[in-house]
Amino acid sequence: MALWRSVSTVCCSSLGSRSAVVPLRTCSIPATRIRASSSAVDRTRPAFEDVDEKLLEPVERSQWDPREGKQSNFYPKKGQDIELVCDSLAYKGHGVCKVVDTGFVLLCERALPGERLIARVLRKRRGFAEAYKLKTISVHDNAVVAPCQHFGDCGGCKTQNLAYHAQLYEKEQQVHHLIARIGRFGFSQPEGPTGSYLKPIVPCSMEYHYRNKMEFSFGTQKWVPAVSYNAVSGNEGTEESQQTLSVTTQQSEDFVLGLHAPKRFDRILPINECLLQHDVANQILKKVKTYCSANSEKMPAYNAHTHKGFLRHFMIRTGSDSNTGSLQVMVNLVTSSFQPELVQPLVSSLVKEFPQIVSFVNNVATGVGNTSQSAEEQGFARKPYNYRNPERNSLRNFRQFILPDEYPTEVLYRIVEDGCSLRGDGTEIILDLFCGTGTIGLSIAKGAKHVYGYELVPEAVADARRNAERNGIMNATFIQGDLNKLKDDFNQEFPKPDIVITDPNRPGMHPKLIKYLLKLKARRIVYVSCNPSTCARDLDWLCHGGEGGLEPQTYRLVSVQPVDMFPHTPHIECVCVLDLIE
């Protein structure tokens, strides 16, 4: 069994691992750019299934400021070229743009706030339209040249060409507006004992090299984009590039190593380096590329159409030794069959050149799906390279953590711990929902009486138990179960908690779970979210009563803390604290 869970079909846009980030500092945003406030608009709460796009219909953002006026009757036609001004960034980092003379709202990929641009209408939606950028007319002050040679092509770092302080401002505003509108908390930012509940965003102290894990793919179809988006001005696009990506020269090659082209399972964008990963990981990538390319007859790259070929994926994970802080690297080569005689020379050459490699695993994925998730791990190269070597990974001075795919960070955990405000007398019960490998709960278990973790994935639950054992933590219990299908006896598995930590994935919490929490009435809920829109929806329910507002108000929102863990990407994390209304 592969304990090292891996991500399937990775293109650079599939960020998501919580990578190691360091100290806590807050960002100051120029007050002049804070939008005028308006009262919360009454609206029906979005359903659990209504994730992302529906929650972020940009037409609503245009109504945030009543001074901006009503939408006119103007509706652009598909294919029409139109002059726009970009107002802000929204879901997936798309620019929220307005037609210059009518104010009609369009979502436009690659548009940056403050920019004037020409765009072509791609498709119409209810109340707004989608467009792609043809040409920048005038850039705004915060535009910068993106340092990555692959910027604009791989689809990962969408805002590298926006100065980091401006990225932070946009993310912070996105969270504040979602909480105000979808959460129905209004824009007035009432001052409580701790000041406004909407906290300034916590920036990432590392703008680059913050990712601890990258997965690259081998292939036989090279994707070569024909359009450059890197220039500060004149970022031209073409219809084909936006709609089908077919403006690329599709070359059949014997060998390509890189990232999947956005939305393509079969085409690979060759990657020389990724600025989000460690320098050493980039050097290893180069070495693997050179070696495998030179030996592509013996070790052919996998063809996603014919399902023939040997080399499938290549994953590099970096971490540090908890004692010495020195860099450690784990490598996973995914192949379609187990042929150690082919892989061994590569392993020998890599570990000789990179002593930082402490583990080399060869996963064998025989299925036709473009995934390494179900790959069977072979014992190959476990020794002497000390497979997994979890003892040496460090997180908040804990040893022996088995790192989850979503790698938790120092900063986020400190904010969660602060949010819990444990009394420290060891009397409190913590319920850690969506606990993954248990790392959040375990990192604060010493101040609690007992931590109960709840998680769907059995392997993650097993890792959580192992994490507890290896750290000598006796007051933690991990339970496997589906929080979307709560059973009647759910609360018989643990005593009533004082504090609930909930960290759902993007769809947020299921209505059944929210109803359960409203009945449970824990003193405090700490909601960790990777999707501020579904988080806002859930906070609305928890704080403003059930459907139709018929249920009594149960929780009070104490704070919403946005955290930027993934610079240059649209991802935003949030930690929200809610207190029971006694």
Ligand X SMILES: C[S@@+](CC[C@H](N)C(=O)[O-])C[C@H]1O[C@@H](n2cnc3c(N)ncnc32)[C@H](O)[C@@H]1O
Residues belonging to the binding site for S-adenosyl-L-methionine are 434, 455, 503
Binding-site size, ligand X (CB under 6 A): 19
Q: How far is the CB of 398 from ligand X (least distance, A)?
A: 13
438: left (phi over 0), alpha (psi -120 to 50) or beta: left
Residues 108-147 interacting with ligand X (rule: CB under 6 A):
none
Which residue number places its CB atom closest to ligand X?
Answer: 436
How far from the centroid of its chain's Cα atoms is residue 315's Cα? 18
Cα(118)–Cα(123) distance, integer angstroms: 16
> By rule CB under 6 A, what string of x and - marks binding of each residue 391-410 to ligand X?
-------------x-x-x--
Q: How far is the CB of 575 from ligand X (least distance, A)?
A: 11
Tell me if 578 sits within 8 A of 514, measured CB to CB: no
413: left (phi over 0), alpha (psi -120 to 50) or beta: alpha
Q: How far is the CB of 244 from ligand X (least distance, A)?
A: 32
Q: Is 221 in the site for ligand X (CB under 6 A)?
A: no
The CB density around residue 15, as the number of other CB atoms within 10 Å, is 20
Stretch that binds ligand X, among 6-14, 65-73, 122-130, 482-490 (CB under 6 A): 482-490
Q: Is 51 in the site for ligand X (CB under 6 A)?
A: no
- Whose structure tokens read 């019960």? 429
Residues 16-35 interacting with ligand X (rule: CB under 6 A):
none
Q: Is 93 in the site for ligand X (CB under 6 A)?
A: no
Based on CB atoms, which residue is closest to ligand X, 250 or 371?
Answer: 371
Q: How far is the CB of 416 from ligand X (least distance, A)?
A: 9
Question: Looking at the DSSP assignment, which residues form a beta bridge with residue 360?
Answer: 331
What would the two tokens of residue 257 be? 């190593």
CA atoms within 13 A on the CB side of 581: 11
CA atoms within 13 A on the CB side of 402: 21
Non-local CB neighbours of 212 within 8 Å, separated by 6+ positions: 17, 19, 20, 317, 318, 319, 403, 407
Alpha helices by DSSP H, listed for 23-163, are 58-62
Q: What residues form the annotated binding site?
A: 434, 455, 503
Where are the strands (E) in 178-282, listed by range? 191-192, 195-196, 213-224, 249-260, 267-270
Q: How far is the CB of 488 from ligand X (least distance, A)?
A: 16
Q: Is 237 in the site for ligand X (CB under 6 A)?
A: no
Stretch that binds ligand X, among 162-170, 275-283, 288-296, 436-444 (CB under 6 A): 436-444
Radius of gyration of the chain (CA): 24
How far from the centroid of its chain's Cα atoms is residue 551's Cα? 33
Based on CB atoms, which residue is closest to ligand X, 406 or 540?
Answer: 406
Q: Is 573 in the site for ligand X (CB under 6 A)?
A: no
Active-site positions?
Answer: 530
Q: How far is the CB of 357 from ligand X (least distance, A)?
A: 25
Cα(105)–Cα(69) distance, integer angstroms: 12
Measured between its terminal Cα atoms, the distance across the chain in Å is: 48
Which of 440, 509, 514, 525 lies at the binding interface for ligand X (CB under 6 A)?
A: 440
3-state secondary structure string, 310-337? CEEEEEEEEEEECCCCCEEEEEEEEECC
Q: Is 283 in the site for ligand X (CB under 6 A)?
A: no
Based on CB atoms, which residue is closest to ligand X, 221 or 400?
Answer: 400
Based on CB atoms, which residue is closest to ligand X, 409 or 559?
Answer: 409
Q: Is 576 in the site for ligand X (CB under 6 A)?
A: no
Q: Is 320 in the site for ligand X (CB under 6 A)?
A: no
Q: How far is the CB of 435 from ligand X (least distance, A)?
A: 5
Based on CB atoms, which residue is closest to ligand X, 106 or 476?
Answer: 476
Cα(414)–Cα(443) distance, integer angstroms: 9
Stretch that binds ligand X, among 158-166, 269-277, 284-292, 478-486 (CB under 6 A): 478-486
Based on CB atoms, which residue is closest to ligand X, 134 or 574?
Answer: 574
- 511's enclosing H/E stretch is helix 511-520
Based on CB atoms, which residue is closest to ligand X, 301 or 483?
Answer: 483
Residues 510-539 interacting with ligand X (rule: CB under 6 A):
530
The strand order across the sheet containing 499-502 reads 476-480, 450-455, 429-433, 499-502, 524-529, 573-580, 555-563
Q: How far is the CB of 417 from ligand X (least distance, A)?
A: 13
Q: Is 436 in the site for ligand X (CB under 6 A)?
A: yes
Tell me if 250 sits within 8 A of 219, measured CB to CB: no
Based on CB atoms, which residue is closest to ligand X, 76 or 441?
Answer: 441
Q: Is 434 in the site for ligand X (CB under 6 A)?
A: yes
Which of 6, 439, 554, 559 lies at the binding interface for ligand X (CB under 6 A)?
A: 439
Q: Give the binding site for ligand X (CB under 6 A).
A: 404, 406, 408, 434-436, 439-440, 455-457, 460, 482-484, 503-505, 530
